[in-house]
Amino acid sequence: MRIIVAGGDGFCGWPTALYLSEKGHDVSIIDNGVRRKIDNELHSNSLTPIASLEERVAKWEELTGKHITVYDGDLVHYDFLKEILRKEKPDAFVHFAEQRSAPYSMIDREHAVYTQENNVTGTLNVLFGIKEVVPDCHLIKLGTLGEYGTPNIPIEEGYIEIKHKGRKDTLPFPKQPGSFYHLSKVHDSHNIMFACKIWGIRATDLNQGIVYGLETEETQLDPVLTNRLDYDGVFGTALNRFIIQSTVGYDLTVYGKGGQTRGFLNIKDTVRCIEIAAENPADFGEFRVFNQFTEQFSVADLAEKVQNVAKEEGFETKIANLENPRVELEEHFYQAENTKLKDLGLEPHLLTEDVIRDVLRTVIKHKDRVIEKNILPSVKWK
């Protein structure tokens, strides 16, 4: 298949581009490099040293003979996007290219506006581009499990059957997102659903949980192919952050009571889920939704797991219950459905002590790069 990976320089996009290329697909990447610029804005960095995108794809070609074309540009620029769609004529468009940090979207008005303009306009452009240039192309869009929030009922995959006043219908599952970032994903989902309905576009919305780990078989082939790894209070995510904190002598930063429960998955499963979605496209006019995670944990559970493994590796770590910078439930019911990807062949890499140990040992090699003042959360919701 001819596949465009938008956001292919990022944490999920880079390993996905390599994985799909390895599987024999003709892959091209669109990325405007904004994630690297945001590191400069925040005076932050990836824990792992990352090569430029040009160096990355050159090394991949040198090692495997497989070519990945790179387009340096912005999805928000419609003429640029249309030109690439005309050139590439993709069978699938994998869309990772969004501002993905909840805290970043909550810094101030400018950051909230940037997040929603970047994400919503970029996705609208992709929808119009598919309609006008490549109507057969399957859109594989990264949504987020956080679109649903934490309702007091089990979370279904996209839709719920509701009986009301003697009548029955299958309707989109209610959305209660917890940041301007998560809201941007809800807006995207609505726009995609509408475009499928009116234009007959085929789309899969992957409501992904929190991704942990960093390496896949492909990124491990050479240090130049190494994936980025975020640990700071703005872009770092729960489990990866805890592992890194344990190696530099920081208390694990559990926010509030730590009963916040979320869906998680290994980066090795992210890349496979994209392949599954690509190989099993949605029908024309179908807005298909998969919940893309493999296990659910509370943040307190995760901190404890990391504490145990870190201890075995010689790091004595304490768990801090910091004042929660976010507005969210800290103790709640949580049960999300995740059968559709497994039914299509996903075999999850589950979170074992060995998996945590593996990431921890990789992290140790780069722990001198940690900028300590970036570890504590700096953005408040209120």
Which residues contribute to the site for ligand NAD (CB under 6 A)? 7, 9-13, 30-35, 74-76, 96-98, 100, 118, 122, 142, 144, 208, 210-211, 237
Q: Is 92 in the site for ligand USQ (CB under 6 A)?
A: no
Judged by beta carbon, residue 182 or residue 366, the one nearer ligand USQ is 182
Q: Is 234 in the site for ligand USQ (CB under 6 A)?
A: no
Q: Is 241 in the site for ligand USQ (CB under 6 A)?
A: yes
Judged by beta carbon, residue 137 or residue 238, the one nearer ligand NAD is 238
Q: Which of 48, 115, 123, 144 is catalytic?
A: 144
144 in catalytic set:
yes
Q: Is 253 in the site for ligand USQ (CB under 6 A)?
A: yes
Q: Which distant-in-sequence residues (6+ apart) come within 8 Å of 119 by Cβ? A: 98, 99, 181, 184, 185, 187, 188
Q: Is 305 in the site for ligand USQ (CB under 6 A)?
A: no
Given a contact cutoff of 8 angstroms between Cβ atoms, the answer to whether 103 and 379 are in contact is yes
Q: Choose which of 140, 195, 243, 254 interacts with ligand USQ (CB under 6 A).
A: 254
The residue to which tokens 């919940």 are assigned: 291
Triad 87, 91, 92: Cα angle to 5°: 105
Q: Choose which of 68, 106, 229, 238 interacts with ligand USQ (CB under 6 A).
A: 238
Distance of closest approach, residue 9 Cβ to ligand NAD, in angstroms: 4
Judged by beta carbon, residue 144 or residue 247, the one nearer ligand NAD is 144
Q: Choose which of 25, 35, 56, 100 interacts with ligand USQ (CB under 6 A).
A: 100
Of 314, 204, 209, residue with least CA distance to 260: 209
Q: Which distant-in-sequence residues (6+ apart) come within 8 Å of 103 by Cβ? A: 179, 233, 234, 235, 325, 377, 378, 379
For residue 262, the partner it binds in ligand NAD, ligand USQ, none, with Cβ less than 5 to 8 A by kind, is ligand USQ
Show which residues are catalytic: 144, 181, 185
